[in-house]
């Protein structure tokens, strides 16, 4: 009876210990899930606060005044220079060229009003892909005040009659390039070597591969701030970036 009692007692304690371990594990997991939910909610609240702050800065009168006729000119070539230089990957893909150029693509100009400036700074990225970031808040009405010109086949563009001040230059354009890829054909070759001196040999089975050239496309996003001066042309300099 004493032995049975001890066995029963031991079994109860084992169940209790296992139950306690499972409870601690589930409780810890629940705390992690709760912390993750709170962290996600905090990020959402922070993004919402930033969006509200940006939206509150929108002033259509300010936008219209910034886009009145002036004596400034902005011209240049809409392109991106390869960060790796002439020996980088992009020049090889673009058949020796070190510049990716926009060919008859739109260039958009926005005045850096407090609203646009806050939106641009909130993204804190090298390329602002408008409408595709988590942090939004740019009032869609700003596009009716934006300047637009299309580049020629060499990427050249020009804005005339600008008020002096800071502007955000935006562009998005595709670039065609040629690349190579190597793939297995599903066939194999047998390489065998034999040594008469030692009377032995060895062999190896290797997959047969084929290399082919193909055309592909990458998309380039430009977002550069320029300072337009009165009475003299301001030259847009293509940014230097590691595209691939």
Q: What whole-number distance in Å separates Cα of residue 97 and Cα of residue 176? A: 12
Asked if residues 226 and 66 have their Cβ atoms less than 8 Å apart, the reply is: no
Instruction: Note the pLDDT of residue 81.
Output: 82
At 190 the pLDDT is: 74
Out of 6-20, 173-187, 200-214, least confident range:
6-20
Exposure of 242 in the CB half-sphere (CA atoms within 13 A): 3
DSSP assignment, residue 126?
S
pTM above 0.85, yes or no: no
The residue length of the chain stands at 244
**Beta carbons within 10 angstroms of residue 138's beta carbon:** 24
Asked if 103 and 176 touch (Cβ cutoff 8 Å), the reply is no
For residue 7, what pLDDT is reported?
A: 46
Pull the structure tokens for residue 77: 């070539």
**Token representation of residue 149:** 């010109």
- Give tens-digit pLDDT for 54-98: 999 999 999 999 999 999 999 999 998 876 654 555 555 555 556
Mean pLDDT within 231-237: 93
Strand partners, 100: 80
Task: State the DSSP H helix or E strand holding residue 165, giving kind and residue range, or none if neither.
Answer: strand 165-195
The string of pLDDT tens digits covering residues 192-215 is 666 666 656 666 777 877 877 767
> In whole angstroms, what is the distance from residue 126 CA to residue 118 CA?
15
Residues 6+ apart with CB under 8 A from 22: none
Instruction: Give the pLDDT of residue 236.
Output: 95
Give the 3-state secondary structure of residue 59: coil
> Can you list the pairs that 21-28 forms with residues at least 24 positions away whose Cβ atoms lie under 8 Å?
none
pLDDT tens digit sequence for 98-108? 688 899 999 99
Name the 3-class secondary structure at 19: helix
Among residues of the chain, what percentage have pLDDT more than 70? 65
Please state the domain extents for the chain: 1-56, 60-241
> Taking residues 113-135, what's their average pLDDT?
73
Mean pLDDT of 157-184: 86
**CA 162, CA 144: separation in Å to the nearest integer?**
16
Across the range 162-180, mean pLDDT stands at 86
Q: Are 57 and 114 in contact (CB under 8 A)?
A: yes
SS3 state of residue 181? strand
């Amino acid at each position: 009876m004493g032995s049975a009692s001890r066995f029963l007692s031991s079994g109860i304690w084992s169940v209790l210990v296992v139950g306690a371990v499972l409870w601690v594990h589930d409780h810890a997991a629940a705390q992690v899930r709760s912390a993750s939910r709170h962290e996600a909610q905090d990020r959402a609240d922070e993004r919402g606060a930033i969006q509200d702050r940006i939206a509150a800065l929108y002033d259509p009168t300010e936008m219209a005044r910034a886009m009145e006729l002036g004596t400034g000119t902005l011209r240049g070539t809409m392109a991106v220079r390869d960060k790796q230089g002439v020996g980088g990957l992009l020049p090889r893909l673009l058949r020796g060229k070190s510049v990716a150029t926009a060919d008859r693509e739109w260039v958009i100009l926005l005045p850096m009003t407090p609203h646009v400036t806050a939106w641009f700074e909130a993204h804190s990225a090298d390329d602002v892909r408008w409408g595709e970031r988590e942090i939004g808040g740019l009032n869609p009405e700003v596009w009716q005040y934006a300047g637009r010109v299309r580049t020629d086949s060499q990427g050249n563009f020009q804005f005339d009659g600008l008020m002096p001040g800071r502007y955000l230059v935006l562009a998005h354009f595709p670039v065609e390039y040629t690349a190579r890829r190597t793939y297995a054909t599903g066939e194999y070759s047998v390489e065998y070597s034999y040594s008469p001196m030692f009377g032995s040999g060895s062999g190896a089975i290797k997959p047969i591969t084929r290399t082919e050239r193909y055309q592909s496309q990458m998309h380039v996003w430009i977002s550069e701030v320029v300072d337009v001066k009165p009475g003299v042309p301001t030259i847009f300099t293509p940014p230097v970036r590691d595209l691939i």
